[in-house]
Amino acid sequence: MKKFISKIYLALIIILLYAPILTLVVLSFNSSKTRAKWGGITGKWYVSLFHDDGIMNALYTTLVIALLSAVIATVIGTAAAIGISAYRQRTKSIFMGVTNIPMLNADIVTGISLMLLFIAFKFTLGFKTILLAHITFNIPYVILSVAPKLKQTNKSTYEAALDLGASPIYAFFKVVFPDILPGVISGFFLAITMSLDDFIITHFTKGPGVDTLSTKIYSEVRKGIKPEMYALSTIMFLTVFILLILINTNPKENKKTEHIINSKARKVSKLIMHRLIPATMVVVIIIGGFVYSKTNKTVDSKKQLIVYNWGEYIDPKVLTMFEKETGINVVYEEFETNEIMYPKISSGAISYDVVCPSDYMIQRMIKNNLLSKIDFDKVPNIKHIGSQYMKQSRQFDPTNEYSVPYCWGTVGILYNKKMVKEKVDSWNILWNKKYKDNILMQDSVRDSFAVALKSLGYSLNSADLDELNAAKNKLIKQKPLVQAYVIDQVRDKMIGNEAALGVIYSGEAIYTQKENPNLEYVIPKEGSNVWIDSWVIPKNAKHKENAEKFINFLCRPDIALLNFEYITYSTPNVDAAKLIKDPDIRNSKTAFPDPKDLDRCETFKYLGTKYDRIYNELWREVKSK
Amino acid sequence: MAKKLIDLVNISKSYGENLVLDDLNLYVKENEFITLLGPSGCGKTTLLRIIGGFESPNTGSVIFDGKDITNLAPNKRQLNTVFQNYGLFNHMSIAENIAFPLKIKKKSKSYIEDKVKYALKLVNLDGFETRTVDSLSGGQKQRIAIARGIVSEPKVLLLDEPLGALDLKLRQDMQYELIRLKNELGITFIYVTHDQEEALTMSDKIVVMNQGYIQQIGTPEDIYNEPQNAFVADFIGDSNIFPAVMVHDKLVKILGAEFECVDVGFGVNKPVDAVIRPEDIDLVPVGTGILDGVVTHIIFKGVHYEMEVTANGYKWLVHSTDMFPVGSEVGIYVKPFEIQIMKKPESEDEEAIVIDE
């Protein structure tokens, strides 16, 4: 009975561990494209997987990086382990600790630090940087598996070899190395496994156009999971599974019985270790090389365009349409914030062809001579961009020569008509005691100071200490009335009728109005912040003409409309705005305010580090009072 | 007289604060079986490693066959070592192990084959060529290590406690083997051990060491019968060491009782140490000996009984084939030539002689 229960327990654990993987494997043979339906067994996803050049390239890159990084890390790691083992116990444990830390360190920290290091040393992010990163994180694993073997080896064998007349090098390769070989081999396989497995570090150290399977899958999955991905994941699982079996059955285990089956078993294991595995590697690299060079031929470097954009900031359809119409191959990369994007451009580590930064960042890039002028003869569709937006752009691009507006929005007050009966047209309503504990402010320095500065009639880019102090005092005065300083929750709380008034971005306001018809958005009469994200071409772009074609394509009203529907931020393309089907949105004052309202608005400007610090200091005073 | 093969001159070695060898001088003659004997930590293994080239002395020099080899790498020295834990190469067959030094010397295949066969025969392990190291017993491994050490015909074979891991019977067999090998090959053996019985059985010359100093150099008989100080006396075999007073020549007062002895030249009424081996004490009926005592402890050891007799406040260790039950009163008698008189240690160095095992 007891046995029976323990068997059930074991079965449960195995089911829990492997059920997800089994599901994946089963789905990879499902001929129906949706997960919900079983359409019969098929191998077609595997076939189409092997016909997908992008994936096959990623597969080849993954294998090459795994093998190369494992080989190099094994050499370095083994040498390091031997060096470490020669130290006294205390030094040894310090060194082992130091080498173990990168392994325990969060991958994301390792990834970001490696990226920063590469950028600092002006490495071009790409294949080489991924390789270096993988070598770096593989070395500790090799050391970890070689060190115990060294500890086990009889120290006197090395001395014995020397004693019998062997030179130190001969003694190492003939005597020490064969002894630690099982550790070296399992370190090598462990390194391959870790390399195949890695996503985060690769994500941070890769350049545009280079993908390993993991980053490829990640970017594919964001667009919606294709069944080929199930097939690919199944293959990856099996590969790692087989590698792990190889690691765990390394030759040292059968030493005990070796003298019985002796020479035969030895020959077989020797054959596997010395011939089969290296031969397989060579074959993989050569075949992969053929496939790679063949597929690479189709990508003419002149027919390429490297785009660097915000995440989820373009309709994927638009990219394929562009590729089809122009025959230009788009390499598409995404960034999360302006601050992540900026160092990649300024370091020159990667030559992007077209980038979409925000207003203040464009100003900074122009100032630092990072952008090249756009040839507007090649961008005739610029005529569809509303003149008011070109005028607004002059705040950060004074001659309108460097940027083409793509998306924009304002900051204003969102209020609940059921709770606020009076007319809302001024920032000062946020200081009205009636709405105590019903006001939501943005938990961000520049946004909060913009509200206070504007309500006092100053510029939201003020660099006047008196004005800033006045704004600070005004924010402190407001503090007892504020329910909370939040960011994303403004949206949810306003939808849920939890507050009467909130400072919000127009793009989000459109969304809240769909969810709760009682909400109204207004740009106060004192003026506010308008933000614009525009396309620019960096100085080191290699395909400037393609970049201009791309910008021109995006300015086409039908394309701009597709993007507007996908992104839902306001479009500066007035002819696209006219094509919007839903009259509520087409005429929405939130999405498309009157030009005169916009005239009172300013974009944020880059104020320099000194004022960044002053703003932050004052904001801290506000928050701590 | 054989010539000096190895001459160690003023060797000192310390690890940090810890002085292991202090200004040591020693020579080894050709075709000699010399044993470095001492408790662990006495510096004997360090001395062996200095000769082998694995350590270099802080001061002093190692002269080999007239040449200074102090700074020569171990692989350039004409001497081989048999390590305590054998140092066999596990991934090689027995034949490959033994052939290792010959391959380095780039000998021909047939020469190597013959030599391996010969070496295996010497250690009585014919036909073991294709066996693996793991399949051997401890004694067999030890023999293979010795075969590997002698196959390239070194002038000197260094042996670092090679029998330490073996059981008693095997150890005794190997002792005879080693003596036979040494006589057949004419190689000089430098042997390190802490086992005094091993040292006495095999050596031509024994070097007793303690705390980095040589305590006594001599033949096994010299060392056993005439220890020069209390440390040697105590370390070699079992001993009764008593504080005594030399009344005058040939008369010593031990624990108040006067014993006749054969030693002269220690002066009159001088404090000395007297050494009496337990097998040299005769137990006689009460009143017929020099002093009387009571048996307080007895163990049967096979060849003899080991007894503890309390007399004049001291416990005397006695080996005898006659049995006296615990509680019986006995007389103690020692023949004059069985008493060994030693000077009391005077210098600080000599006083440092303590057994730390």
Which residue, among A89, A90, A163, would best test binding to B if mutated, counting the most B CBs under 10 Å from its CB?
A163
Contact A408, A530 (CB under 8 A): yes
pLDDT at A254: 47
Q: Which of A521, A516, A507, A509 is nearest to A566 (CA)?
A: A507
Cα separation, A156 vs A318, whole angstroms: 69
Determine phi and psi for B241, rounding to 5 degrees: -115, 120
Pairing of strands A501-505, A404-416: antiparallel
B67 touches chain A (CB under 8 A): no
Cα separation, A49 vs B167, whole angstroms: 67
pLDDT per residue as tens digits for the range B115-143: 999 999 888 888 898 898 889 888 889 88
pLDDT per residue as tens digits for the range A184-208: 988 998 898 889 889 999 988 887 7
The answer to whether residue B254 sits within a structural domain is yes
The answer to whether residue B356 sits within a structural domain is no
The answer to whether residue B207 sits within a structural domain is yes
A89 touches chain B (CB under 8 A): no
pLDDT at A224 over 60: no
Q: Which two tokens stand for residue A615?
A: 């703003």
Q: Which residue has the higher pLDDT, A122 or B73?
A: B73
Contact A67, A281 (CB under 8 A): yes
| Chain A hits for B132, Cβ within 8 Å | 258-259, 262
| Chain A hits for B95, Cβ within 8 Å | none
pLDDT at A34 over 70: no
Q: Are residues B155 and B43 in the same domain?
A: yes
Q: Are residues B66 and B148 in the same domain?
A: yes
Q: Are residues B181 and B258 in the same domain?
A: no
Cα separation, B164 vs B199, whole angstroms: 12
Q: Which residue has the higher pLDDT, A528 or A3?
A: A528
Q: Which residue has the higher pLDDT, A579 or A275?
A: A579
Percent of chain A at pLDDT > 70 equals 89
Across the interface, whether the CB atoms of A163 and B130 are under 8 A apart is answered no
| Chain B hits for A159, Cβ within 8 Å | 52, 54, 74, 81, 83, 87
pLDDT at A426: 92
Angle separating helix axes A277-298 and A53-85, nearest 10 degrees: 140
Domain boundary among B200, B225, B250: B225
What does the angle CA A563 – CA A564 – CA A567 come to, to the nearest 5 degrees? Answer: 80
pLDDT at B346: 57
Looking up tokens 């006594």, which residue turns up? Answer: B216
Across the interface, whether the CB atoms of A179 and B104 are under 8 A apart is answered no
Was domain A409-529+607-624 assigned CATH 3.40.50.300? Answer: no
Q: Are residues B205 and B57 in the same domain?
A: yes
Domain boundary among B171, B193, B225: B225
| Chain B hits for A270, Cβ within 8 Å | none
Closest CA of chain B from A263, distance in Å? 9
B74 touches chain A (CB under 8 A): yes
pLDDT at B313: 85
Closest Cβ–Cβ partner in B52, B83, B135 for A259:
B135
pLDDT per residue as tens digits for the range A94-104: 888 888 888 88
At CB < 8 A and 24+ separation, what contacts does A385-394 make? A385/A555, A385/A572, A385/A573, A385/A574, A386/A572, A386/A573, A386/A574, A386/A595, A388/A595, A388/A598, A388/A599, A389/A532, A389/A572, A392/A530, A392/A532, A392/A598, A392/A601, A392/A603, A393/A359, A393/A532, A393/A534
pLDDT at A459: 92
Domain boundary among B202, B225, B248: B225
The interface predicted TM-score (ipTM) is 0.77
The residue in chain B having the minimum alpha-carbon distance to the alpha carbon of residue A166 is: B75
The answer to whether residue B108 sits within a structural domain is yes
Cα separation, B75 vs A167, whole angstroms: 6
Residue B172 CB contacts under 8 Å (≥ 6 apart), including other chains: none
In CATH, what number does A54-253+275-297 get? 1.10.3720.10
Cα separation, B175 vs B291, whole angstroms: 41
| Chain B hits for A174, Cβ within 8 Å | 89, 100
Q: Which two tokens stand for residue B207?
A: 């070097």
| Chain B hits for A181, Cβ within 8 Å | 91
Q: Which residue has the higher pLDDT, A414 or A282?
A: A414
Mean pLDDT computed over every residue of chain A: 85
Contact B242, B255 (CB under 8 A): yes
Q: Give the residue numbers spanning the domain of B290.
A: 238-351
pLDDT at B166 over 80: no
For A546, the enclosing helix (H) or strand (E) is helix A544-554
Contact A197, A237 (CB under 8 A): no
B73 touches chain A (CB under 8 A): yes
Helix (H/G/I), strand (E/B), else coil: A499:
coil
Q: Are residues B154 and B267 in the same domain?
A: no
CA distances from A20 to A17, A231, A413, A624 (A): 7, 14, 47, 48
Across the interface, whether the CB atoms of B134 and A263 are under 8 A apart is answered no
- The CATH number of the domain holding residue B333 is 2.40.50.140
Across the interface, whether the CB atoms of B130 and A262 are under 8 A apart is answered yes
pLDDT at B184 over 70: yes
pLDDT at A259 over 50: no
Contact A315, A502 (CB under 8 A): no
Cα separation, A111 vs B82, whole angstroms: 51
Across the interface, whether the CB atoms of A154 and B52 are under 8 A apart is answered no
pLDDT at B350: 45
Q: Which residues of A430-450 are buried (b: 16+ CB within 10 A; e: fewer)?
A: bbbeebeebbbbbbebbbbbb
The answer to whether residue B248 sits within a structural domain is yes
**Residues within 8 A of A (CB atoms), B 180-219 only:** none
pLDDT at A286: 66
Cα separation, A485 vs B17, whole angstroms: 66
Residue A500 CB contacts under 8 Å (≥ 6 apart), including other chains: A415, A416, A419, A420, A435, A438, A439
What does the angle CA B290 – CA B296 – CA B299 come to, to the nearest 5 degrees? Answer: 110
Closest Cβ–Cβ partner in A165, A179, A259 for B91:
A179
pLDDT per residue as tens digits for the range A126-173: 888 899 999 999 999 999 999 888 888 777 888 889 888 888 889 888
pLDDT at A400: 92
Mean pLDDT computed over every residue of chain B: 87
Dihedral sign, Cα of residue B311, residue B317, residue B319, residue B324: positive
- The CATH number of the domain holding residue B208 is 3.40.50.300
User: From edge to edge, which strands make up the β-sheet containing B251-254?
Assistant: B257-260, B251-254, B240-248, B270-276, B339-343
Q: Which residue has the higher pLDDT, B4 or A374?
A: A374
Q: What is the mean predicted confidence (pLDDT) over B18-25?
A: 87
Percent of chain B at pLDDT > 70 equals 96
Listed range (A29-43, A81-95, B98-112) with the worst mean pLDDT: A29-43
pLDDT at A573: 93
B18 touches chain A (CB under 8 A): no
Q: Which residue has the higher pLDDT, B343 or A77?
A: A77
Which residue type is seen at B67?
Answer: K
pLDDT at B239: 84
Q: Are residues B221 and B245 in the same domain?
A: no
Q: Are residues B221 and B262 in the same domain?
A: no
Residue B357 CB contacts under 8 Å (≥ 6 apart), including other chains: B39, B40, B194
pLDDT per residue as tens digits for the range A395-444: 999 999 999 999 999 999 999 999 998 889 999 999 999 999 999 998 88
Q: Which residues of B223-250 are buried (b: 16+ CB within 10 A; e: fewer)?
A: bbeebbbbbbbbbbbebbbbebbbeeee
Architecture of the domain made up of A303-402+533-581:
3-Layer(aba) Sandwich (3.40)
| Chain A hits for B152, Cβ within 8 Å | 164-165
B15 touches chain A (CB under 8 A): no
Q: What is the mean predicted confidence (pLDDT) over B139-166?
A: 87
Across the interface, whether the CB atoms of A163 and B74 are under 8 A apart is answered yes
Q: Are residues B41 and B131 in the same domain?
A: yes
Q: Which two tokens stand for residue A289?
A: 């090389």
Number of domains in chain B: 2
The answer to whether residue B275 sits within a structural domain is yes
pLDDT per residue as tens digits for the range B283-325: 999 888 888 999 999 999 888 899 999 988 888 999 998 888 9
Q: Which of A478, A475, A482 is nearest to A445 (CA)?
A: A475
Closest Cβ–Cβ partner in A160, A174, A255 for B134:
A255
Residue B236 CB contacts under 8 Å (≥ 6 apart), including other chains: B196, B200, B208, B223, B224, B227
The answer to whether residue B196 sits within a structural domain is yes
pLDDT at B185 over 90: no
Dihedral sign, Cα of residue A159, residue A163, residue A168, residue A170: negative
Closest CA of chain A from B105, distance in Å? 8
Task: Tell me chain B's radius of gyration from C-alpha atoms.
Answer: 24
Contact B318, B302 (CB under 8 A): no
pLDDT at A260: 47
Q: Are residues B36 and B176 in the same domain?
A: yes
Q: Are residues B186 and B86 in the same domain?
A: yes
Q: Are residues B153 and B217 in the same domain?
A: yes
Q: Are residues B190 and B67 in the same domain?
A: yes
Closest CA of chain A from B88, distance in Å? 6
pLDDT per residue as tens digits for the range A311-370: 778 988 899 999 999 989 888 887 767 877 887 788 777 789 999 999 889 998 999 899
pLDDT at A4 over 70: yes
Closest CA of chain A from B317, distance in Å? 42
